[in-house]
Amino acid sequence: MTVTHNNESGTEAARADENLVTLTIDDVEVSVPEGTLLIRAAELIGVEIPRFCDHPLLAPVGACRQCLVDVPDAGNGRGFPKPQASCTLPVSPGMVVKTQVTSPVADKAQTGILEFLLINHPLDCPMCDKGGECPLQNQAMSHGRGETRFNEVKRTFPKPLAISPQILLDRERCVLCARCTRFSEQIAGDPFIAMAERGALQQVAIYENEPYSSYFSGNTIQICPVGALTSSAYRFRSRPFDLVSTPSVAEHDACGAAIRVDHRRGKVMRRLAGDDPEVNEEWISDKDRFAFAYDRQPDRLTRPLVRDPETGALEPASWPAAFLAAARGLTDAARTAGVGVLTGGRLTVEDAYAYSKLARTVLGTNDIDFRARPHSDEEAAFLAHAVAGSGLGVTYRDLEHAAKVVLVGLEPEDEAATIFLRLRKAWRQNGTQVVALASHATRALEKVGGQLIRTVPGDEAKALGEAGLDAGTIVLLGERVARVEGAFTSALTAATARGARLAWVPRRAGDRGAVEAGCLPNLLPGGRPVGDAEARADLAAAWGVGSVPGGVGRSGDAILAAALTGEIGGLLVAGVEVDDLADPQAAIDAIEAAGFVVSLEVRASAVTERADVVLPVAAPAEKAGSFLTWEGRPRRFGAVFSPPHALSDTRVLAGIAEAAGHDLGFRTAEAAAAELAELGAWDGARAPRPEVLPGRAPRTGPSEVVLDTWRRLIDDGRGQDGDQHYQATARPSVVLLSAATARATGVRAGDEVILRTDRGAVAVPVDLADIADGVVWTPANSNGLSLLGILGATYGDVVTIERSTTDSRADALSGPPHPHQTPAPDEGVELDATTAPGDSAAPTDTDLARPAEEQL
């Protein structure tokens, strides 16, 4: 296939140029692109041929034989003597096709296949999760016989079988279409389920006791055309016809995957993948699918809280009282020492804009930063220069057709799952070459056919020179690049020189939107540089204020440092976990030291505990808004439902502004979006590019190693609380060492090592890997071990390593045994209720296989 670097319209135009083939289906002449399969050509004339194994995103297989049609003329004057599977037969010029609509032969063939499919299918539709949305049920109604002729013995199996802690298999319902196994092999690259046995006893199976361990396993449930695959989380929880569906956007990463949220009586019951060919096609990660119960945990904040000056305790307050308290405290602080604003990375564009505007107009400061994670000034400069206000840049489609994609500080499967799937597709279909600058090749890199340029964390800026960038290359820069001195600068320099394209792939859903909204000390909304007087004047005029503050503000870390020393008197904090920050202990100290703290949060946190005013806000499902994907693509979504206690951040900030005697100019996401749109992107001079000399990986002494780490897709993030089955699918924690490092430390695979800093120590089991010597990799926040929280260490830091002994272990924290091995505690929420009565074979941990070994 031709490698194109066109935008979407270019690709569409290329498609229109494809050769069209004209054929006749059911006496209707239709022209379709060469290579189109009959089953899809028929759809274009409005004929839906029934099918089970066919899926447009999977390779044709022709297994179920449901889509048989009659082909009296193959285009060469000769017909096929037998009915043909329309899902495997491409069109040819002059072909004549008769579907069930016009051919009694095709109709009988289809009815016959459907009858065969039903003979071994149980009649448990009334209790099956799929009942009401089941392709088999639907097609049995539209193409089946009214009465069965089968009175004999059906095939049965013990049920259900847990093929993973989350995925359950009812084999007797399976029609053996192999969609799930083909998805796992072709799309996800995790071929850990396969067909076993033969004849009617053929079944989907896992290998011995190895569970179906895939970050994308939930997609198999959705594409299963019967109720054979169900999730522990949803099984027997509701019926499709009781659910209200709302299209939405996943909030767990910056990929913007389309999802469908199904709720019933004010509670989300499940989430499904939406269909968006430009973004996630029809696939989502298990995190996007299953991690939705976090907003109904017992620590959910439901009422405003104000600290009682006498008792010092947080007491419930009315909204007006809370607004007033927040407004007074913040304006007082702003008048004296100033207020710092930390917005986290999870806000919608509209909410981020509200913080940005409030900071500049009410609090009169540029001390605002969305980066609730280790960050650098170079990164802020890069964002201002290359990202903010640049609109839609590199897209998923561009990735799919790129000649080469270079990954820097980004592990796509863990940190941007939708990108991972698209890279795998790009490699499989277009031969895209993926190159990673990393300490080791992850399994994800293998699954995209990628190559490794072995790089010690910190050396990326130099290594970029070896990556062979050219005009067909796209460089993806992950959030860890902020930890590498000079890497943004080098990437910009190299890309400009060679004509490669760059894209910044943040990890959180709100990150790109926050950049556009101006939640950075050096950026105003729409990419206006703070340092540009013209841009400030433009903004002030648009906002109808005399001026906006000039002078670059403090970064997130600097805000906290200033709060600790009293240079800043107040903090306005939105959705920040202190353990995500570069120095969690310093952050706690700073928040405690700050004179006045306002926290807008969904659930209680270390910040809310220390806040003077706590304002509960809506979770994404409870508000409308939009995220920007890493591409810069707006992803609007509506509220799934609106609990009375849940106001959006925008509404809350408008209330505070009003109580402070200001008018924010909007109270709703719609109005905020309209204002931001009207403001538009800055068309003046761009902020200058960062100029930072390439750094080097830190030098290590004896018993010291450089830490390589990132957050796994499924880990201890609070946004994933509330589904023990989902959490049990997390990969077990390990430390990856090279053989040389292991020798030097005196450990072997399976032993335990202690990683230590002056803050603390963690004990983690060892696995050997082909990783750079002197580097260890371990997950950043898995199995109860937050590296930043415990060690204060993150990507590129130096930690000491020692063999675990009784003595060395004494002060080290270790995670609990992996949930595969011990039952997760029953948290008492409804999600944990057992499966339906009579379903004695609900998955228990004894059914479950021991965890798949770390595959790195």
Where do contacts with another protein occur on this chain (CB under 8 A)? 60-66, 68, 81-83, 88, 108-109, 112-113, 115-117, 119-120, 149-150, 152-153, 155, 175-176, 194-195, 197-202
Write down the least CB distance from residue 106 to another protein, Å: 11
Strands 194-196 and 167-169: unpaired
Nearer residue to another protein within complex by CB, 62 or 643: 62
Nearer residue to another protein within complex by CB, 12 or 197: 197
Nearer residue to another protein within complex by CB, 111 or 835: 111
The two structure tokens encoding residue 302: 């439901």
Nearer residue to another protein within complex by CB, 142 or 565: 142
Length of the chain: 856
Judged on CB neighbours under 10 Å (0-12, 13-18, 19+), 210 is middle
Write down the least CB distance from residue 113 to another protein, Å: 5
Write down the least CB distance from residue 157 to another protein, Å: 14
Cα–Cα distance, 29 to 23 (Å, whole number) = 6
Write down the least CB distance from residue 775 to another protein, Å: 36
Write down the least CB distance from residue 843 to another protein, Å: 26
Nearer residue to another protein within complex by CB, 115 or 332: 115
Nearer residue to another protein within complex by CB, 119 or 321: 119
Write down the least CB distance from residue 117 to another protein, Å: 6
Cα–Cα distance, 82 to 249 (Å, whole number) = 46
Cβ–Cβ < 8 Å for 305, 316: yes
Cβ–Cβ < 8 Å for 835, 842: yes
Nearer residue to another protein within complex by CB, 120 or 376: 120
The DSSP symbol for 47 reads -
Nearer residue to another protein within complex by CB, 82 or 696: 82
Write down the least CB distance from residue 203 to another protein, Å: 9
At residue 90, φ and ψ (nearest 5 deg) are -75, 155
Cβ–Cβ < 8 Å for 650, 354: yes
Q: What angle do CA 620, 640, 388 make, to 5 degrees?
A: 40
Give the three-class secondary structure for 643: coil
Cα–Cα distance, 130 to 236 (Å, whole number) = 10
Nearer residue to another protein within complex by CB, 141 or 201: 201
Cα–Cα distance, 295 to 205 (Å, whole number) = 35
Neighbours of 465 (CB within 10 A): 13
Write down the least CB distance from residue 237 to another protein, Å: 31
Write down the least CB distance from residue 200 to another protein, Å: 4
Cβ–Cβ < 8 Å for 648, 623: yes
Nearer residue to another protein within complex by CB, 174 or 452: 174
Nearer residue to another protein within complex by CB, 116 or 319: 116
Element (H, E) at 319: helix 319-335
Cβ–Cβ < 8 Å for 625, 618: no
Cβ–Cβ < 8 Å for 745, 800: no
Cα–Cα distance, 529 to 382 (Å, whole number) = 12
The two structure tokens encoding residue 270: 């499940």
Residue 609 makes CB contacts below 8 A (sequence gap 6+) with none
The two structure tokens encoding residue 64: 């179920």
Q: Phi/psi class of residue 468: alpha, beta or left (left: φ > 0; alpha: ψ in -120 to 50)? A: left
Tally DSSP H helices, then E strands, for the chain. Answer: 27, 38
Write down the least CB distance from residue 152 to another protein, Å: 4
The DSSP symbol for 57 reads T
The DSSP symbol for 37 reads B
**In the chain, helix, strand, coil percent, each to 5?**
30, 20, 50
Nearer residue to another protein within complex by CB, 59 or 685: 59
Write down the least CB distance from residue 50 to another protein, Å: 12
Nearer residue to another protein within complex by CB, 176 or 831: 176
Q: Chain-centre distance of CA 654, in angstroms?
A: 30
Write down the least CB distance from residue 212 to another protein, Å: 18
Nearer residue to another protein within complex by CB, 66 or 786: 66
Cα–Cα distance, 203 to 795 (Å, whole number) = 44
Longest CA span, the chain: 94
Write down the least CB distance from residue 579 to another protein, Å: 47
Cα–Cα distance, 368 to 370 (Å, whole number) = 7
Write down the least CB distance from residue 180 to another protein, Å: 15
| Beta strand ranges found along 197-298 (DSSP E) | 203-205, 229-231, 244-249, 258-264, 267-273
Nearer residue to another protein within complex by CB, 201 or 541: 201
Write down the least CB distance from residue 114 to another protein, Å: 9
